[in-house]
Amino acid sequence: MVYFSSNSICSGDDQKNGFLKDGIDTVNYTVLSGRLHFLKFETTKISECMKFISTKRLQEYGDKDDEASASDKNIIKATGGGAFKFADLFKEKLGIILDKVDEMSCLVAGANFLLKAVHQEAFTYLDGQKDYVQIDHKDLYPYLLVNVGSGVSMIKVDGDNEFERVSGTSVGGGTFWGLGKLLTKCQSFDELLELSRQGNNRVIDMLVGDIYGGMDYSKIGLTSTAIASSFGKAVSENKELEDYRAEDVARSLLRMISNNIGQIAYLNALRFGLKRIFFGGFFIRGHAYTMDTLSVAVNFWSKGEAKALFLRHEGFLGALGAFMSYEKKGFTDITHQFMEQNSSVPKSSFCSEDGSESSTRAHVRDNECIECRVQVRN
C-alpha cells in the first residue's frame, strides 16, 4: 500500500519557485508538503489492511465520482490480482470502488519514478557488501526490470511508458512459499525466510566437488562449491524428509529458486544487450542471502559484464505506479515535484512506521515514508 499524508500547504513563494510546472496557474493548483507512506499487508491478512484504511479514513481521500450514488463515491486506485480478487470485499466492507490500473504499467511507472526521484534507491549486494548506485537519469534506459512476486515477469523498459514484457517464469515467490510450506510446515513467508537464514544448503544440494572428489572442474569454470544439482544429495542418501533439518531444506529451496531467476534474468538481458538488471517484488524483501544469490548468478553467467541491482522500495512498485495514476484526476506531474524536492534539499527526511525521523538518506529500512511535495488541482 502507498498513500500520501499532507502536513502543510506550501507558501505562495514555494509554489512559484519551481514546484509548479511551467505554464500552470497557481490559482488552480496547490503544492502540498507531506509524506509518502509505504506499508505491506499479505493477502492472508486483508482484513488488517481494511481495518487500517478504515482507521486512517483513507477511503475518504481517493478519487470522487460526482456522478455516482453516494455509496459509490469513494474510489481508490489498485493494481495486481488483488484488485480483482478483493473488489467486492472492499465495496461491501468499506464502500470503496477499486479502480483497477494495469499491473505492468504500474510496475514500470513505479520503478521509473523511484530511480529518477529517490536518492540512493538502487544498490548492489554481493558477498555481504551493499553499495548504493548513483543513477544517471540521462542514461537510465534501457534496462531489464525483474519483478518477483508469486511468479516472475521480466520487462524491458525503454523509457517512460515504453516497455515490453519479454519473458517470465512460473518459478517465483509463490513456488518458494508453496514448496516451503509443504516441506517445512512453516506458517508464513517471513518464517520460511528466517529458517533459510539459519540453514546450510550443502547438506542437501549436490556440489561439483561431490562429483569430482572435492576438486574444481576448472576447465569449464566451475568451483568445487558450485551447485551441480539442487536437492541432489537426497537421491543417494537413505533419508526421509524428517531426517533433514527444516532450516537446510529452506536454504536449498531458496538457493534453487534464486539461482534460476538470476540465470533467466541474465539470459534475457543478454538477448537485448542490457547491462543493468533491476530486481523488485516482495520475494526479495531485503533478504541478504536472496540478493547475494541473485547477484552471484548474474555475475557468474555474464562473466562480470552485467550487474544485479536492487531497489530499496522493491515491493511497492505496482502500488506506487497506481498512486501516480492519480495524476490524471488532480495530482499532476508528481515525478517532477519529487525530483525538484530532491535536487533542492541536501538531505531527505524519512520516517519509520512508528513515526521516528532520520536525517540520513542511506541505510533506510523498507516500509518507511519519504518527505515530499505533490501538486494537486484545487
> What pLDDT does residue 355 have?
31
Any idea what the Cα angle at residue 283 is, between residues 365 and 312, rounded to 5°?
30
Q: In tens digits, what is the pLDDT along the chain, a chain of 378 residues?
A: 888 888 765 555 554 444 444 444 555 667 777 888 888 888 888 999 999 999 988 877 765 555 555 445 688 899 999 899 999 999 999 999 999 999 999 999 999 999 988 888 999 999 889 999 988 888 999 999 999 999 999 999 999 899 999 999 999 999 999 999 999 999 989 999 999 999 999 999 999 999 998 898 888 888 899 999 999 999 988 899 999 999 999 999 999 999 999 999 999 999 999 989 999 998 998 899 899 999 999 998 888 888 899 999 999 999 999 988 876 554 444 444 444 344 333 333 333 233 323 222 222 333 467 777 777 666
Residues 181 and 269 in one domain: yes
Q: Spell 200-229 as b/e; 16+ CB within 10 A means b.
A: ebbbbbbbbbbeeeeeeeeeeebebebbbb
203 within a domain of the structure (yes/no) = no
Domain that includes residue 260, residue range: 122-188+246-311
Going by their DSSP bridges, the two strands 74-79 and 350-351 should be labelled as: unpaired
Q: How far apart are CA 186 and CA 176, in angstroms?
A: 11
351 within a domain of the structure (yes/no) = yes
76 within a domain of the structure (yes/no) = yes
Residues 298 and 150 in one domain: yes
Residues 12 and 44 in one domain: yes
Going by their DSSP bridges, the two strands 143-148 and 276-280 should be labelled as: parallel
**CATH number (domain holding residue 274):** 3.30.420.40
Residues 17 and 82 in one domain: yes
Q: Select from 296, 311, 326 the last residue of a domain.
A: 311
Q: How far apart are CA 306 and CA 299, in angstroms?
A: 6
238 within a domain of the structure (yes/no) = no
Q: How far apart are CA 378 and CA 370, in angstroms?
A: 23
Residues 85 and 126 in one domain: no
Residue 233 CA from chain centroid, whole number: 34
339 within a domain of the structure (yes/no) = yes
Residues 266 and 306 in one domain: yes
Residues 349 and 251 in one domain: no
> What pLDDT does residue 43 have?
83
Q: How far apart are CA 185 and CA 189, in angstroms?
A: 11
Residues 158 and 43 in one domain: no
Residues 293 and 324 in one domain: no
> What pLDDT does residue 138 have?
86
Specify the number of domains making up the chain: 2
> What pLDDT does residue 28 have?
61
Residues 179 and 260 in one domain: yes
Q: Select from 311, 331, 363 the last residue of a domain.
A: 311
55 within a domain of the structure (yes/no) = yes
Q: How far apart are CA 375 and CA 378, in angstroms?
A: 10
Q: Could you tell me which of 368, 369, 364, 350 has the C-alpha nearest to residue 123?
A: 364
Q: Could you tell me which of 210, 257, 204, 208 has the C-alpha nearest to residue 234?
A: 204
217 within a domain of the structure (yes/no) = no
214 within a domain of the structure (yes/no) = no
Q: What is the DSSP letter of 217?
A: B
> Alpha helix locations (H) across the chain?
12-14, 46-56, 81-85, 87-94, 103-117, 173-184, 189-197, 208-211, 233-236, 246-272, 288-302, 317-324, 334-344
Which are the contacts of 180, defined by CB distance < 8 A and separation ≥ 6? 186, 192, 195, 249, 250, 253
Supply 274's cell numbers. 542490457
- Dump the DSSP string for 173-191: HHHHHHHHHHHH--SSHHH
- Are the C-beta atoms of residues 75 and 87 closer than 8 Å to each other? no
Residues 80 and 151 in one domain: no
Residues 294 and 322 in one domain: no
Q: How far apart are CA 325 and CA 109, in angstroms?
A: 9
> What pLDDT does residue 156 have?
98
Q: Select from 290, 311, 332 the last residue of a domain.
A: 311
Contacts of 325-332 spanning 24+ positions with Cβ under 8 A: 325/77, 325/101, 325/106, 325/109, 326/63, 326/77, 329/63, 330/63, 330/376, 330/377, 331/374, 331/375, 331/376, 331/377, 332/21, 332/24, 332/29, 332/375, 332/376, 332/377
> What pLDDT does residue 10 have?
57
